[in-house]
Structure 1
């Protein structure tokens, strides 16, 4: 757990006495942001960031947690922000970049998803994890990939020589427009392939 630091919070009304903060690095912004969002929710201070309520005490707790999760060099760059929301937005801007960079990243993710195929050496869980990872990265850039697209991509990317009969059966008995991604993955995972 080298990417986690310990933050102590003594405020009884605002959360647990001890919280593990993930450390932001140059390569883990997406996962860091997801973890911090949950941590700030558990600490009951996420609303100082979204929608950005003005509560000085809660703002200080959120700011302290954010400071615990970033390196000193970044604190020196963004630390003068006067609210947790502005601090969050400054960190986000530094790691997601301008709109053009964001758009380029989204295009890269879409292309990566389009090219993705399950190899014979992949397990169902590994392949589903790759699709979920791309979907999570896209969501962190504020572009949600529709569940039906994920389901379709998963089913059409399975090796046909192993899964064609299973996929055909699922297409006959399920409405793939309303079936969730995790449901399809679970059904494929629990099917014996010989």
Structure 2
């Protein structure tokens, strides 16, 4: 678009972002080289005929730049915002109307500052919050306080941060307070030191958690192995008892063994007994095939 107006994104103003919006708009207007006309304005002569050609050229340029600035301000407003400045004839007038509308009178400004002071003092770092995010929260409130007239030094901001950190930073806070001079530090330097400590603390926590997980895993595997061994031992015990019963009945473990070497009267040992008796001579009747205590013949008196 002509004059480079569309080469920048114009920030939109709403009911709650005037402070930040005004900073962004000042930068945008400055980039288009028209902030000075918004801040200081220009004077419309009562009679242009009395002006020299140089003065006429300067007046023409001022009017052109003023309209450019006014157009940029228009682009940042919704319909309600436009209504507030629709009667403004210059960019300076429009800017002042917006400032009065959003920042209010001096009394309203003081009330707002009191609210911001309370928010600043109540700030505390959350346990799950990163040090970078907490710095951003603190600086957002402190910057609003400054824009509303509070004289807030960097040392006071750093002191607030140090005394409101979460307990995990206690060690580094003690070191900084004892070894560093906050008067010689910047907020960025403090942030860097705390971020470095946060990273070390995080790595240490990760190592501890990893070790704990490994210990839990080892314990679970050990318990699983013990349960497996207990199950196998129970099975072996039952099998062992089975073998014990087999031994008691004849020293064999299965039916095939018992068929080959039965323990009943029909077995091999009984045949062996009958064979041995056939070669045995009775001392009572002098016949073979039985012992004397089995003999049915009349008992002979042994000489």
Range into which the TM-score falls when normalised by the shorter chain: 0.7 to 0.9
Q: 1:22-41 alignment to 2 at 5 Å?
A: 22-41=11-30
Does structure 2 conserve the Cα–Cα contact (< 8 Å) formed by 1:49 and 1:84?
yes
> Is 1:133 equivalent to 2:140 in the alignment?
yes
Query: Do the aligned partners of 1:29 and 1:95 also contact (CA within 8 Å) in 2?
Result: yes
| Greater Rg by CA | 2
Unaligned 5+ runs, structure 2: 43-61, 206-303
Shift of 1:16: 6.2
* Whole-Å separation in 2 of the counterparts to 1:42 and 1:135: 27
Name the structure 2 match of 1:88: 95
Q: What's the CA shift for 1:107?
A: 0.5
Residue 148 and residue 49 in structure 1: after superposition, are their counterparts in 2 closer, same or farther (change >3 A)? farther
TM-score by length of structure 2 reads 0.56
Conserved? CA contact 2:84–2:97, under 8 Å: no
1:189 to 191, 195, 199: 195
Q: Do residues 171 (structure 1) and 160 (structure 2) align? A: no
Distance between the aligned counterparts of 2:177 and 2:151, measured in 1?
A: 24
Structure 1: runs of 5+ lacking an equivalent: 1-7
Query: Which protein has greater RCO, CA pairs closer than 8 Å, 6+ apart?
Result: 1
Q: Give 3-state SS (helix, strand or coil) of 1:118's partner.
A: coil
Instruction: Answer yes or no: is 1:146 the counterpart of 2:153.
Output: yes
1:162 pairs, out of 162, 168, 171, with: 168
Partner of 2:240: none
- Aligned-pair Cα RMSD in Å: 1.8
* Per-residue deviation, residues 148-176 of structure 1 (Å, max 9, x unmatched): 111110111112x3112211222233220
Q: TM-score with structure 1 length normalisation?
A: 0.85
Equivalent residue number for residue 263 of structure 2:
none
In the aligned structure 2, how far is the partner of 1:158 from the partner of 1:26? 32
Rounded to whole Å, the distance in 2 between the matches of 1:45 and 1:174 is 44
Distance 1:56 1:183 in 2: 46
Q: Secondary structure at the match of 1:190?
A: helix
Distance 1:83 1:178 in 2: 45
Higher helix share: 2
* Count of residues in Structure 1 that have an aligned counterpart in Structure 2: 181
- 1:47-126, aligned counterparts within 5 Å? 47-50=36-39, 52-54=40-42, 55-126=62-133
Counterpart CA distance in 2 for 1:173 and 1:61 is 54
Give yes or no for contact 1:135–1:144 (8 Å, CA) kept in 2.
Answer: no
Pairs within 5 Å for 1:11-22: 11=3, 18-22=7-11
